[in-house]
Chain A
Amino acid sequence: MSIGHTLLGLLESGPRHGYDLKRAFDEKFGHDRPLHYGQVYSTMSRLLKNGLVEVDGIEAGGGPERKRYAITEAGVTDVARWLATPEKPEPYLQSTLFTKVVLALLTGRSAAELLDTQRSEHLRMMRVLTERKRHGDLADQLICDHALFHLEADLRWLELAAARLDTLAREVTA
């Protein structure tokens, strides 16, 4: 999962301090692995250097964590591009896809389109495997089947997520 893009996406709803960003991240995405302050600090420095965020204000007496960050136009474009680009189909994608879906809902983008695009990318890979299977020996077929079952499991999760988008949108924007 891209922490930089996730923090950028969280900034789309308005400027925040580093501490607020960490709290929002942990609340929405960091159930098992909350962010360290150091990660937030280093990520924001990189985003600042790349012109994707800007410092919106500094509170008196504050260290680096007291800076308030705002997303730039380039930052918004970067988030949009990340959300619209499907992930390479591979096992254990769920945390990245979940993050993308939640961010799309939080920023008013179409989560359904994001899921359609990802499904299409998965299917593209499944077609390649299916074709290989048609011309392969039994060993090839079994190897392809293993990959196909994993991709299919991802897709079932995608369908389930798509069917629950309305409920999820209510929960994440509450």
Chain B
Amino acid sequence: MNPAGPLLAARGLHKTYGHTKALDGAEFSIRPGEVVAVMGPSGSGKSTLLHCLAGIVTPDAGSIDYQGRELSAMNDAERSALRRGEFGFIFQFGQLVPELTCVENVALPLRLNGARRRDAERTALEWMERVEVDDLASKRPGEVSGGQGQRVAVARSLVTGPRVLFADEPTGALDSLNGERVMQLLTDAARSTDAAVVLVTHEARVAAYSDREIVVRDGRCRDMEHAL
């Protein structure tokens, strides 16, 4: 366990959609290099928590501190810059651009940050090698399997060297063998760069790749590390 203080910490998060309380005083913290599984039943607020932590959704109340900076105090441009540079994302489906090749997909975040094409694709290929999909560089997403596509997405989520990787059911669409391989590669790659991983999952076998888990129920979090 990393002894450093939290990299990202949320306190008293509230978020309501219509009459539904998605978050009701949720607390969360993660240290550099730590993999934390966010578990809980469907509709408990797991994804809302992830979206708030990543600055995609603004909570109605509460604070989110990222390395001493309050997310709600940032303007849209600052939050966008954070999401492009410091945060990485991986979802269950539909994250690769079908018209681009796999290496162009992986290089895309770097290109959006202003990197030259050749530099971006060289870095992209290095990451594809690490997650064992460099042989797919010139293929388009429609030509690769679900497991391969998800590994390409892992490479893309890490290509900018994010400090926090947000993974929302990253293996949800894969069979168990491919799912496990993705989790191995994802956690190995994240640990090698000391990135923290917020891993939303309902699957115990996926959560078993984490260092600890929190349980979200009715919009509140239970930190199981401190519960026992």
* Interface of A toward B, CB cutoff 8 Å: 86, 112-113, 116-117, 119-123, 126-127, 129-130, 134, 148, 151-152, 155-156, 159, 162-163
* Bound complex: CA A172 to CA B161 (Å): 53
B227 at the interface (CB under 8 A from A): yes
Size class of B's contact patch? 10 to 19
Chain B interface SS verdict (over half): mixed
Q: Is A123 within 8 A of B217, CB to CB?
A: no
A116 near B222 (CB under 8 angstroms)? yes
| CB contact between B208 and one of A117, A121, A123, A163 (< 8 Å): that residue | A123
CB contacts (< 8 Å) of A127 on chain B: these are: 208-210
CB-based contact A123/B207 at 8 Å:
yes
Chain A at the B interface: SS class: helix
Closest chain A CB from B176 CB (angstroms): 9
Q: Are B213 and A123 in contact (CB under 8 A)?
A: yes
B77 at the interface (CB under 8 A from A): no
CA of A152 to CA of B39, assembled, Å: 14
- From A125, which residue of chain B is reached at the shortest CB distance? B208
Query: Shortest beta-carbon distance, B212 to chain A, in Å?
Result: 9
B residues less than 8 Å from A120 (CB atoms): 213, 224, 227-228
Q: How far is the CA of A128 from the CA of B202 in the complex (A)?
A: 19
Q: Contact check, A117 vs B204: say whether CB atoms are below 8 A apart.
A: no
Please, how many angstroms separate the alpha-carbon atoms of A152 and B203 in the complex?
8
Instruction: Look across to chain B and name the residue whose beta carbon is closest to the beta carbon of A155.
Output: B204
Chain B residue numbers with a CB within 8 Å of A122 are 204
Known: A162-B41, A163-B41. A123 touches B204 (CB 8 A): yes
**B215 partner residues in chain A, CB cutoff 8 A:** 116, 119
Is B21 an interface residue when CB atoms closer than 8 A count as contact? no
Contacts A116-B215, A134-B184, A152-B204 known; 16 new A-B pairs at CB < 8 A: A113-B222, A116-B222, A117-B228, A120-B224, A121-B228, A122-B204, A123-B207, A123-B213, A126-B207, A126-B208, A127-B208, A127-B209, A130-B208, A130-B209, A148-B205, A163-B41
- Closest partner residue, chain B, to A129 (CB atom): B208
- How far is the CB of B201 from the nearest CB of chain A, in Å? 11
Question: How many Å lie between the Cα of A117 and that of B228 in the bound state?
Answer: 7
What separation, in Å, do the CA atoms of A120 and B227 have in the docked complex?
9
Question: Top 3 A-B pairs ranked by shortest CB distance?
Answer: A126-B208, A120-B224, A130-B208
Beta-carbon contacts of B186-207 to A below 8 Å, as 1s and 0s? Answer: 0000000000000000101101
Q: Which of chain B's residues have a CB closer than 8 A to the CB of A151?
A: 204
Known: A116-B227, A120-B213, A120-B228. A148 touches B222 (CB 8 A): no
Contact A117 B205 (CB under 8 A): no
**CA A127 – CA B187 in complex, angstroms?**
13
Q: Check if A112 sits within 8 Å of B217, measured CB to CB.
A: yes
Given A120-B224, A120-B228, A134-B184 in contact, is the A159-B209 Cβ separation under 8 Å? no
- A134–B207 CA distance with the chains assembled, in angstroms: 15
Shortest distance from the beta carbon of A141 to any chain B beta carbon, whole Å: 10
What B residues does A123 contact at CB under 8 A?
Answer: 37, 204, 207-208, 213, 224
